[in-house]
Amino acid sequence: MTSTASHNEGRVWFVTGGSRGLGAAIVRTLLDAGERVVATARRREALTTAFGPDNDALLSLSMDVTDAAAVRAAVEAATARFGRIDVLVNNAGYGDLSLFEESTAEDVRAQYDTNVFGLMHVTRAVLPGMRARRAGRIFNVSSVGGIVGGASGTLYCASKFAVEGFTESLAQEVAPFGIHATIVEPGFFRTDFLEATSVKHGSNPIADYAATAAALKGFYDSRSRNQAGDPVRLAQALIVLADAEQPPVRWCAGTDALAMVQSKIDSLQAELNAWRDLSAGTNGDFEFREETGSSAWG
């Protein structure tokens, strides 16, 4: 059950990838709502350009999530400045929308270094403080592509599926300490995610895939800056979720994400039902009979 009560004044948020796109919208919305924010990005100048100089409510820090030492230093600086981190928003990431055979092993590593291992570096650095206080909120920004795969998602969706498995498991590990972890699954939102400054396409073109790759790139290019999702409304929703006594483990954002997740649920249920007997039959003769009352096996 969510709460619409006014949020806790003085709460401290730590936001990665805060200089542009969804991250910048989150930082600006939090500041406008009276929250205190530690905004991080690879280039601190980009943060000061976007939000101005540091003040009582804002601390801007240079931090590359792929650098574990830099992450630890940033978390220490944030704690020294504000005393604690109440809410972590793991937003930093990018999309490699290459077809698998048109990607390289280096592309795969780079995608995971940022989207998965970087997110883990930040979470690992923030958790001890939350655990000591027996309180905290973690929002791991995944994507609807973290639950629904598709062509050109072999790298990006794989990384986001990993984020979802990590977060769903982590939520159970940290719940006894009063820490809640939530997966955020945005659909298409109006950010620079699909711009050349963020997205990456195949670095190893193959003729057999030329038509498919061109069609997919054309689709993404046509969507860029025309997405239905409003980043500010998503940021406002994070405040509502942070106020919730029992926030969800998985939350999708946008009507397109709602439709895609519902379709995935329906598809999973249909597939499970279609192959239920074969699945159950792998238990072995005695166990299968005992659990189902069926004599079909053996």
Residues carrying an active site annotation: 142, 156, 160
DSSP string, 10-29: T-EEEESSTTSHHHHHHHHH
Whether 198 contacts 94, CB under 8 Å: yes
Whether 272 contacts 264, CB under 8 Å: no
Spell out where 55-178 has E strands: 58-62, 87-90, 136-141
Cβ contacts of 152 within 8 Å, gap of 6 or more: 97, 98, 99, 213, 216
Is 137 in a helix, a strand, or coil? strand
Q: Which helix (H) or strand (E) holds 253?
A: strand 250-253
Whether 198 contacts 24, CB under 8 Å: no
Largest CA distance in the chain: 74
Which pair of structure tokens corresponds to residue 97? Answer: 């929308």
Question: Which value, to the nearest 10 degrees, does the dihedral of the CA atoms of residues 184, 187, 190, 193 take?
Answer: 80
Cβ contacts of 15 within 8 Å, gap of 6 or more: 23, 26, 27, 30, 37, 38, 39, 40, 89, 91
**Measured distance CA(66)–CA(94) in Å, rounded:** 13
Spell out where 21-86 has E strands: 36-41, 58-62
